[in-house]
Amino acid sequence: MNYKIALIRGDGIGPEVVGEAVKVLEAVGKKFGHSYELVDVLMGGCATDAVGKSYPDGTAEKCKACDAVLLGAVGGPKWGADKPAEQRPETALLAIRKDLGLYANLRPAALRPAMADACPLKKETALKGIDLMMVRELTGGIYFGKRDKYETADRGMEATDLMAYSEMEIERIGRRAFELARLRRGKVSSVDKANVLETSRLWRSVMHRLAQEYTDVQYEDVLVDNCAMQLVRDPGQFDVVVTENMFGDILSDEASMITGSIGLLPSASIGDSAPGLYEPIHGSAPDIAGQDKANPIATILSVAMMFRYSFQRPAEADAIEGAVDAVLAEGWRTPDIAEPGVTPIGTRQMGDLICQHI
C-alpha cells in the first residue's frame, strides 16, 4: 500500500520524536511492502512564529487530503495563556479535533511487561496488570460550549462555560466504546456525574440503551470521583472506560501516571471518516528539546495505533509493539524511564534499536 501521512512535528521535542517515528514507518514499509507520501503540516507555536497564528489557514484541508495525521507535540511557555487565542497552540489542537470530526479519543494505559517496576502503585496491584483503554469524547461538552464573561451589579465579574451533550454525540462515542470492548476483554465502564449533572443523566440513559443492545459486553456505571479513586486503588478492574470530554482529560492523565511512564503512552483520535490523528500523550517538554533526551516510544506506539485503527493492519501494529517490548526487555532506557544505575540512551539510538527489531 501507499499511505499519505500528514506530519505535524510541532514544538519542543515534537520534531525529534516524529523523526524517530518516521524511521519506524520506513522500517515497517520495508518489511511489509508499504510506501509513504509524507506531507509536512505547520501547526502549533512554530506556526505562530512563522505565520502569526497557531492554526494556519488550510491546515485542516491539508490533513483531510491524507490517510492519517501524526502529531509530535505542540505548546510551550513562549506561547502562554497571556497571548491572543489565535497564537496559542491549544487553540490549534481544539480546532483540528473539531475540523476533522475526531470525536473519539483512545488513550490506552497499559503497563508494559518490562516496565512493571515503574508502576508507582502497590506491588500486588502492579502484578495484577494494568491494561485499560480510556475512550474520551473529544469534540463536545464544556470544551466546546458557549463561554461568557460579564459584569454583575453586586458580585464583580462572572464567567460561565456551558456543558451540553446531545443524544447523538453520546451514542456515537458509546458505540465506539462497546465495539472496542468486544475486541478486548468485553467490559465497558461508563463514567459520569449523574448524581448531580443533567448532561450525565442523559449520558447514562443513552449508555443503558446501548448496553441492552451489546448484551455480550459487561457494563457498569461509575461516578467520576469514584473512578478517580478506583484508578489508583485497583486499575486492573477496568477494560474500556468511556467518558465525556473534561472528565476524560483529567482521568486520562491519572491513568497515564499509574503506568509509571508517560513517555510510553500513545493516543488515537478518530471520527467516522479518515483521517485519524495519532499523537503521544506527553507534551512538548521544551526543557529537554533538541538534546537527544526525549523518549520517542509514545510516538512510535502512536504509529502502531495508526496501523491498527486507520489502516486496519494489525500485523504491522503488532510488529511495532513487539519491537518496543523487545528493546525494553533488553534493558534499553531513555532518561525518563531509566532505573537508578542504568546508563540511558538517546532519542535516536532508541529509534534505531526499535527499527532493528522490526
- 249 contributes a contact to Mg ion by CB under 5 A: yes
- In order of 84, 131, 153, 273, the CA distances from 310 in angstroms are 34, 21, 53, 9
Q: How far is CA 288 from the centre of its chain?
A: 21
Q: Which CB atom, from 257 or from 274, has the smaller least distance to Mg ion?
A: 257
**Which of 66, 71, 68 is closest to 46 using CA atoms?**
71
Nearer to ligand IPM, 90 or 99 (CB): 90
188 strand-pairing partners: 219, 240
Distance of CA 102 to the CA centre of its chain: 12
- What is the grid cell recorded at 25? 514507518
Peptide bond into 275 cis (omega under 30): yes
Minimum gap (Å) between residue 343 Cβ and Mg ion:
32
Q: Are strands 240-243 and 131-137 parallel, antiparallel or unpaired?
A: parallel
The residue among 217 and 231 lying less far from Mg ion, judged by its C-beta, is 231
Closest CA to 16 of 353, 350, 354, 356: 350
User: Per CB under 5 A, which region of 108-116, 119-127, 249-257, 325-333 contacts Mg ion?
Assistant: 249-257
Number of residues that bind ligand IPM (CB under 6 A): 3
Least Å from the CB of residue 90 to ligand IPM: 4
Contact of residue 244 among Mg ion, ligand IPM, none (CB under 5-8 Å per partner type): none
Residue 235, preceding bond cis, omega within 30 degrees? no
Binding partner of residue 90 among Mg ion, ligand IPM, none, CB cut-off 5 to 8 Å per kind = ligand IPM
**Residue 191: how many other CB atoms lie within 10 Å:** 29
Cell numbers at 236, concatenated? 486492573
CB of 183 to Mg ion, least distance (A): 25
Closest among 14, 83, 23, 96 to 55, alpha carbons compared: 96
Rg value, the chain, Cα: 20
- 8-state DSSP, 218: E
Please state the closest distance from residue 15 (CB atom) to ligand IPM, in A: 18
Site string for ligand IPM, 32-71 (x = CB under 6 A): ----------------------------------------
Instruction: Considering the complex, state which of residue 279 and residue 316 has its C-beta at the smaller distance from ligand IPM.
Output: 279
Which range binds Mg ion by CB under 5 A, 149-157, 167-175, 248-256, 313-321?
A: 248-256
Partner that binds at residue 251, options Mg ion, ligand IPM, none, CB closer than 5 to 8 Å by kind? none
Nearer to ligand IPM, 54 or 334 (CB): 54
| Residue 93 binds: one of Mg ion, ligand IPM, none (C-beta under 5 to 8 A by kind) | ligand IPM
To which H or E segment does residue 277 belong? Answer: strand 276-280
**At closest approach, how far in Å is the CB of 103 from ligand IPM?**
13
Using CB atoms, what's the residue nearest to ligand IPM?
A: 90
Q: Spell out, one character per residue from 192 to 231, where the chain touches Mg ion: x when CB under 5 A holds, - when not.
A: ----------------------------------------
CA 257 to chain centroid, in Å, comes to: 13
Considering CB distances under 5 to 8 angstroms, the limit depending on partner class, which of Mg ion, ligand IPM, none binds residue 13? none
Residues 89-148 that bind ligand IPM (CB under 6 A): 90, 93
**Among positions 11, 16, 20, 249, the unique one binding ligand IPM when judged by CB under 6 A:** 249
- Enumerate the active-site residues: 143, 193, 225, 249, 253
- CA torsion through residues 259, 263, 269, 275, sign: negative
Q: Which among Mg ion, ligand IPM, none contacts residue 26 (Cβ within 5 to 8 A by kind)?
A: none
Instruction: Please choose which of ligand IPM, Mg ion, none residue 325 contacts, taking the beta carbon within 5 to 8 angstroms, the exact cut-off set by kind.
Output: none
How far apart CA 215 and CA 207 sit, in angstroms, is 12
Kindly report the three-state secondary structure assignment for every residue of 105-143.
EEEEEECCHHHHHHCCCCHHHHHCCCEEEEEEECCCHHH
Q: Is 291 helix (H, G, I), strand (E, B) or coil?
A: coil
Residues binding Mg ion (CB under 5 A): 249
Residues binding ligand IPM (CB under 6 A): 90, 93, 249
